[in-house]
Amino acid sequence: MGMASNEPSPFESRQMLASFISSTPLLSDSWRLCTQANAAPFRTFVADRVGASVYVAFSGVQMPGSSDPNSRDLVPLDSIGGVPLFSPRRSKEPDEPVMVHAAMLNLFLSLFNSFQNQMLEIVGNKDTKSIVITGHSIGGATASLCSLWLLSYLQSISSSVSILCITFGAPLLGNEAFSQSIFRERWGGNFCHVVSKHDIMPRLLFAPITFLTTQLNSLLQFWQFSMTSEDFGKLANQISEKEKAKLFDAVMDYLEAASQEGETFVPILFHPFGNYFFVTEEGAVCVDSPSAIIKMMHLMLATGSPVSSIEDHLKYGYYVNKLSSQTLNQEISMQRTIPDSSYEAGLELAIQSSGIANEESAITSAKECLKKTRRMGPSPNLNAATLAVSLSKVVPLRAQIEWYKNWCDEQDDQIGYYDSFKSRDSSSSKRDMKININRCKLARFWNNVIDMLERGELPHDFDKRAKWVNASHFYKLLVEPLDIAEYYGRKGMHRAKGYHYMQHGRERRYEIFDRWWKDRTVTTAAEENKERSKFASLTQDSCFWARVEEARDWLNCVRSEIDANKLSLLWDKIENFEKYAINLVENKEVSCDVLLKNSSYSIWVEDLRELKQLKVKVQRLPHQFTGFLDGEVVP
């Protein structure tokens, strides 16, 4: 057995997660609050504090807004409440847009203003360490969107408050790009979707069932009435047995097609995300692979009936109450026949927990499905160790760039590191060519690190480890000025693309490293506020030269602009950058190359001084003359 076998596979970890969740009050507390939310008169959300944790439950007794809740209409989702949700892909290829169910999003946005301030107040409370956001049925979709907004917001302010979203019988929410974006942000672990064995609601959107719209609206009303009243027998009869069977068969057919390997004859518009916690009479099994989730949804529903598929949506309280005793009973019942391998034992327990242990035709498919979730290849910790070796091999490339910077800064032309690289041309020396090759090699190394992290091939706390946070930060400060020089230099990408580096030219890896550095653990206040006694070896704003290039452009525009309002805006931008740059210099947060006599920054400072002098002279001229210069007709 190799090193990788010493670490649990994702499947084994999911089974440990299932056992852990079953043994904690998380599910029972969440369901208790969901019940309160469903019974609340205003049918929006309720909150409850349990120690350092706050539970927020969204009501499932609500109908989505103007869009048909049974439709499969998808709309783009980029941000919520002004907070961007997902960072852009590193790839320059156009991505499939992130899309979500139109009606679910409309419902969420209609409630957003009512809970936003309360959520921010909860986050701002120093006693709040964690927030559990939950919801039953359609309330689960609202809870998921709320969690995404809150995760994005907390990330933007570097908050340490943890978020867990627990849904019960929630419908599918978004497309494959939506699912993949959550995975790339490594938020999948923040979502636990509890799905009962036969509940048809989480499976509905796999099938285009618009031909049953009337029946589905009756079904939603039946479910929602049942959440607030125990006397729901009469409403159940509004849907005939034939119509129930039609609905069940339609969903089964499309689920079966969706669960087949290779190309299917139907497009899968909606994809699962996060962890799915399947609960049955016999226990629970946790899965996080989208393909495995779809397969388990099909295998488990196939053991049900049209009636049970509807009734199971209302039985989550029953399943939650049984879970703790089920876990204990399963462990006792398996002691006699427990396999030698912990993996095989976990697999047997998962099959038993899924409630299909007596379905011979389904057992083989279920085992194959769960086995595919087992990790193939090295473990995350082994990958991290291998990367550390790779990092040591690229350190010499970085050292050569450091030497190049020092060499540039000592030259008689006094233009410095940034401008030397920017001004190189096709006849550049081998030294410049070597540095450019090193720049590209380092970019490939760090892009590979990010790709591995987003594929889940590195430990979950990788971006918190000081070794990698510090190495990525140093790389960014050293090499990004060269990327900026390349952007504005001989390639002239700012002219070809029509925008500056800060707008669309910056590589995504630098934005990610910004976040790593911002979220790092600072051990002491002295470390955070340490004053410098000499200029930094590297300018602490890796985008400083891009800001200089924009400021140079503003000065050029001032010289030719005749519109007074536009001129005023330009001067505001120039003065703001001037203050920013002076502050960096005074705090010695720039490298000495910034202040060299012929650097782009020094030339900009001199050009600004001359333009200000000219501006003062013009202001001293008589009004009639200045008006004439501005294009006015002087009487």
Tens of pLDDT along 603-622?
A: 999 999 998 888 776 666 55
More confident call, 369 vs 221: 221
* Residue-range domains of the chain with CATH: 11-371 (3.40.50.1820), 379-520+528-618 (no CATH)
Tens of pLDDT along 401-416?
A: 999 999 999 999 999 9
Report the residue count for the chain.
Answer: 635
Region 532-551: what's the mean pLDDT? 94
Q: Are 421 and 489 in contact (CB under 8 A)?
A: yes
Tens of pLDDT along 124-176?
A: 888 999 999 999 999 999 999 999 999 999 988 888 899 999 999 999 999 99
Tens of pLDDT along 457-473?
A: 888 789 889 999 999 99
CA distances from residue 60 to 86, 265, 583, 599 in whole angstroms, order as listed: 27, 33, 53, 62
Q: What share of the chain is helix, strand, coil (3-state, %, to 5)?
A: 60, 10, 30
More confident call, 8 vs 401: 401
pLDDT beyond 60 at 105: yes
Region 99-121: what's the mean pLDDT? 90
Question: What pLDDT score was predicted for residue 261?
Answer: 61
CA distances from residue 571 to 301, 332, 503, 575 in whole angstroms, order as listed: 66, 77, 20, 6
Catalytic site positions: 137, 199, 313
Q: SS3 for 150?
A: helix
More confident call, 511 vs 259: 511
More confident call, 493 vs 99: 99
Which tokens hold the place of 503?
């707008």
Mark 575-597 as b/e (b = at least 16 C-beta within 10 Å).
Answer: eebeeebeebeeeebbbbbbebe
The average confidence (pLDDT) of the chain is 81
Residue 537: DSSP 8-state: S
Phi-psi region of 244 (alpha: psi -120 to 50; beta: other; left: phi over 0): alpha
Q: Which residues pair with 79 in a beta bridge?
A: 84
Which tokens hold the place of 381?
């910790």
d(C-alpha 272, C-alpha 274), whole Å: 7
> Using CB atoms within 10 A of its CB, is residue 461 exposed (0-12), middle (13-18) or buried (19+)?
exposed
